[in-house]
Structure 1
Amino acid sequence: LFFEMFLIFGTLFLFSFSLCESSQNNWKLTQAAHQIRNYKQEQLLQLCALSDHERFRNYLKSILIPRPVGSQNHKKVQAFITQSLEALGYRVESTTFTQQTVIGQKTFTNIVGTLDPLIPRRLILACHYDSKDFRPNFEFFGATDSAVPCAMLLDIAASLRNVIYNRKSKDLTLQLIFFDGEESFREWSDTDSLYGSRYMVKELEKRPYPQYYSPRSRDLDRIDLFVLLDLIGAKGSTFYYHHPYSVLNAYTVLPETERQLKAYQNCIYDLPTIFHDLMINTFIQDDHLPFLEKGVRTLHLIATPFPSEWHTVKDNEEILHFPTIHNILSILRVFTANCPVENKCDLAERLDNLFKRIANIPEAFLRDQQRGEVDFTFEQRLNIVRSTYEQRPVKFLSKYSIYIDKGEVDLFEPNSDQTMEYHIERIKNSGTNEAAFRIKNRRFSKLKELISEGTYFSDREMRQRDPWLYYHMIGRHLTENESKALFHSQNSQYKFSDLLLDFHDNKMVNDERVKMENSYRKEPKKFFSYETKKTETTISDEEKERLRKEFVSIMHESFLEGRDKEFDYSEVDENSKYDDYVRINQDAEDKYFEDSDD
C-alpha cells in the first residue's frame, strides 16, 4: 500500500463500559456487556470536585526523574509507586524477572496494584515507568513518556478509592499496572522493547482462574478492558480512536464526557478539543500490543501526533501544560468511575435473542423436516431451538454452533461432557468462527453482485468513498484528457457542483494527510514508515493499470471487511439468500477467508 494511515469520518455513538451485577460463579456473563448510558449532572459535578492539583503534582514530583532500567532512580521510582499504592489500600504484587537484552542481562520489575483481588473482573489502567537511557548524551526525564501517565494512575486511585468501594456492583475492580522495560535499549524492535508487558502476558496466560470454574479460564480472561496511557502532558495533546486496534464503544465515552464536562462551569478548562470523534487507522507498538495479540479488549490512549519533544532532552517538566493534564485527568476519572447505573444482566434476554436469531435462519432446520413437508413457521423453529437448548444442550451446540458467536459461549454452563467442551472450545478459540465465516460468505456473494451491476465499484463511487486513496493510486497519474474521458464515460450527468464537492473532499483529506505526515516524520519508533513524495513522476501505462487493479482490490477488501461506512451490512449479513453453499463447502475458499482475517 502507499500509505499506513487514513482518516475515517463519521458519527460515533456513545457507549459506556458498563458494570453489571452478577454472582461470583457467573462473572463471565457480565464481561462483554456494554450499555448505552447518559451521565447525570450531579454525578459529573461530584467527580469534578475530586480534582486536586497539589495531590497530582506531589505524585509527579517523585516520578519525574531520569529512571532508566537498573539505575538508582529507577529503584526509587519503583519504591515510590509501591508505597503509594499500599497507602491507598491496594494489594501490590511486584514481579521481578531477568531477561537477556541486546546489551546483556537486565532485571525488570512490573508493579501491579489491585483494589480488591477477590473480585473476578478487572478494569486495567496501565503505563510504563522506566525512561529511555540516552546517557552519556543527555539525561532523559521522560515527562510525557511516561511520568505524567504514572502520576495520573496514582491520582485516579487516590481520588476514586471511596467511589469504587461504595458502588453496588461488586464483580469488577480497578487494577493499575506499571510496566518496566517498555523502552528499547538500542533500536526499537520486536525483541528489544516491551519487556515487561510481554512477560506479564505470558504469566497471565499460564495462570488458571478460578480453579473451580473451568480449565478454559485464565487470569488473562479476567480483563474486561485494558487501557494504556502514554505520551500525555504536552500542550495541544489530541487523541483519536485507533481503528481497528481499540474498543470503539469504550473510546466514544471520552469525547462525549469531554463535551459534557465543558458544559459545567469550573469543571475543566476551556481548551481545544482533546478527545476527537475521529478514527485513524494506525498501528502503534506499545505495551498494549502483547495483550491485544491475545484477544484482550484494549484502549490505547496515546497523544497523536506525538509531542515534538518526544525522545529529546526537552521532554521535561517545562513542556507540561497542567490545564491540559487537568482536563485529561478529569475525563479519565469520569471514565474510570463510570457513574454506574445499576443494571442486572438478563441471561434470559440474551438467550432469547440467540434463539430468535437462529430461528430466523430457515436452512438451520433442514435436517428437522421430511422431504415434501411444509416449511416450518418462525414460531415452530423457535420452539425447536428453545426445547433443544433446555433438554439437550449438547445437541444444541452440535447443531447450531455455526450460528453462535464467540461472545455467546458463556451462555453454556461447562460440564464434563467432552462433546460440549469440544464445541465450546471450537467456537471460543477459532481464529474465525463459522458465524463470522458465514457473514464473509454472504458479503462475498453480494460483492459479486455489486461488481456485476457496476455502479458501486465505478471510479466515481469509489473515489467518493475514499478520495485520498483514489488520488494516490489513480487520480494523480491521470492526464487531463484521461480524467475528462473517464468521468464523461462513467456519468454524463456528473454535475459541476459534484465536481466542486469532490475537489473540496480531496483537499480536506489531503490537507489532513500532510498535517499528520509532518507530525509523524520524527517518530520512527512506534509507527510504520511510509514514503512521502515531494514531486510526481510519470509512470507507464502498465504501472497505471497495476495500480488501478490494486486500488480496486483494496476497495473490494474494504467492502468484505465491513469498512464501507455508508453501506447497510445488516441487509446482507442477516440475509440467508446470499448464502452460497457450494462456496461454504470449498476448502480453498475457507483458506481464502482465513487468510483475509490474518
Structure 2
Amino acid sequence: MTTGGAEGDDEEQGNASTIPKPDLPPELMDIFKSLAENSNIVFKSQQIDDPEIPFEEKQGIAREAFEKNRENFLIRFGSHLNARQLSSFQDLAVKEPIKPDENLEEMCLLLEDFRRKLSTHSVCVKNRRYHAMQQLLEKGEYFSEHEMMQRAPDLYQELVGQYLTEAEKKARDSYDVRNTSFSGILMHTLEKKQRDELLEETQQEKEEQVEVSREQLSLADFEVPVACRKQWGGFEDDEPIACSTSRNAAARVSPNITKISTPVFYNPGERDLLRHEFLSLMKERFLGGEDKDFDYTAVDDNTLLDDLKQIEQDEEDAYFEDSDDEEELREQPAEDKEASSEDELDIYMRHLSNHHSLQH
C-alpha cells in the first residue's frame, strides 16, 4: 500500500510539472530571450569543464526568477536590459498586486538608475569612438583610400572610383613587391581580383539602371532645364557636360544629352567634393559601429580614450550649478520657499495619484 501511495504521489508530481505555465506578454518573453542570448550573464554556477547551459534552460531560469520575485529579477538582470526593455518591464511588471518581499518604489528607483547608466554609457561610447577615430586618422592606415576601398568597394566606386583616369587607377593599385613576402604579394593579387570583380558587377548594375532611367524619361518626354545641364562643379560656360553613372544622377539624365564617360572631363572641384563625401560617410560608418571587422569592444570599454579634461569640466560645472541653486534657495524669502515647496508637493501628489499602479 505504501509503495502504491508513493507511486501515486510521483505520478501527481509528474503531471504537475507538465502543466503549462500561464502565458506572459510577448514583451516579457522577448526580455527572457534576450537575456538567454547574452553570453556575459552567469545563470548558475558551473565548473570549468561543465557543458554550456542550453538556450531553453537559460530562458527558463530568467522566467523563473521573474515569476518568483520581480524586484530580485531586476537587481540581477536589469543592467543587461536596454532602454526599450526597461520601459516594457516598467509598464508590464511594476504594478499591483505585489508579493510581501517586493517593493514597487524600489523597483522604480532601480529602473531610473539603469536608465541613467545607459544614457551615461552611451555618451561615453560615442566619445571613445570619436577619439579612437581621431587616432586612426592621424596614423593614416585605417582611413587610407586603399583600406576604405576594401571595406566599402561599391560606395568607393560610386563616389571616387568611377571618376579616376587610367593613370590614377594604376597608381592606386601599384604595389611595392620589393619590400614584401610572396604571401603578401599573393594576398594583394587576390584582394585586387575580388575587388575588380565586385566593381565590375556594380558597374553593370548601374549601367542597366541608367538605361532603364533613359527609357522611362524618354517615354515621359522629360526635358532637363538649361540651368541643370551644366556640370554642378564647373565654372566655364562652354564646359562639357559630365553625367554621373550613379543611381541618383541617372534619374536626372536627359536622353538627348550625350554622356561623357572619360574621367578627364570631370571637374577637379567636383571630384574633390565627392572624395570628401566618401571619407565623411566612412567616418559615420565607423562611429555607428558598422565596420564589421573592427573590434569595437577594444574601444567602447577603453577608459583611456575618455576625455578626462572634459569630464572634469562637466563635473565642475555641475558642482557650481548645484551650489548656485542652493544659494538661491537660501536667499529666497520664507513665504516663497513655502509656496515653492507646496507647488512641488502638489505636482508630486498629482502625478502619484494618477500613476497606473494606483488605479482601480
Give TM-score, length-normalised by structure 1: 0.29
Higher helix proportion (structure 1 or 2): 2
Larger Rg computed on CA atoms? 2
Higher strand proportion (structure 1 or 2): 1
